[in-house]
Amino acid sequence: MKRDLWDKVRDERPLIHNITNIVVANFSANGLLAIGASPVMAAAIEEVAEMASVSEALVLNIGTLDASTEATMIRAGQAANAAGRPVVLDPVGVGATAFRRDVVTQILRHVQVSVIRGNAGEVATLVGADWVAKGVDAGEGVHHPKRLAAQAAVRYGCVVVVTGETDVVSDGTVTMEISGGNVLMTQTTGTGCLLSAVIGAFLAVEADVMTATATALAGYARCGELASERATGPGDFPLHFLNALGAMTAAKLPHDCIEVLS
């Protein structure tokens, strides 16, 4: 973990291009603003390549697909690759339908992503592991998240995050667990999607993908804990969570939340 990255994002204000779903666009934009990044939510196929090339990271979130999503995301991803910008893929509900699986397969075939972030059910789908998921929920399976993360990292040549009660991040060689967070984070729409965007902001200011990702995860989980201390339930949790993101600094990061497993 590189603690000063939380301050570095605020100092550098990286422009983060999001092609995301309609459910979380506002929350993701506000969350990026809260940590000091600058969000742009551009999804028209006519402009995504240009926008991706001038942004400092690209976040692709398939939460609400339509017929043009695949071509739009691939065009943006290839432009980001050509410009040397990091790409984060959030394969929301990829196991729910054949359409989602096909779109993600094509994105991963044509775009080199830096980080894939999903729940256990989504990552299990990407590696063909047996799993029972329900829509966009994680569901249940016999495989440990650390195994899923490592397998996916090797298969796709990138860092993979499996979020859950304990988050796991792996590059296929090194695997880490990040503890923290609060159950209210699972009762609020968009906390996972916003995390993908936050990871994008950290990749924009730190070249080491594992370091950037683990640092983002550690602070994000801590913000969930701080917000839960003030929230009375899922209704006001998002407000306190955004406030916690806005107040997060290197000095507030926990010291013992990351365990290196391999």
Q: Model's pTM, two decimal places?
A: 0.94
What is the per-residue pLDDT across 3-34, written as a single tens digit (0 to 9) for each? 799 999 999 999 999 999 999 999 999 999 99
Contact 123, 160 (CB under 8 A): yes
- Percentage of residues in the chain having pLDDT higher than 90: 87
Strand partners, 160: 116, 170
Q: Is 143 helix (H, G, I), strand (E, B) or coil?
A: coil
Domains of the chain, by residue range, sit at 5-260
- Taking residue 38's Cβ as centre, other Cβ atoms within 10 Å add up to 16
Binned at pLDDT 50, 70 and 90, residue 132 comes out as: low
Instruction: Output the pLDDT for position 262.
Output: 66
CA-based R_g, the chain, Å: 17
For domain 5-260, say whether CATH 1.10.3720.10 is its number: no
User: Rounded mean pLDDT of the chain?
Assistant: 93
What is the per-residue pLDDT across 145-197, written as a single tens digit (0 to 9) for each? 999 999 999 999 999 999 999 999 999 999 999 999 999 999 999 999 999 99
Instruction: Output the pLDDT for position 138.
Output: 45
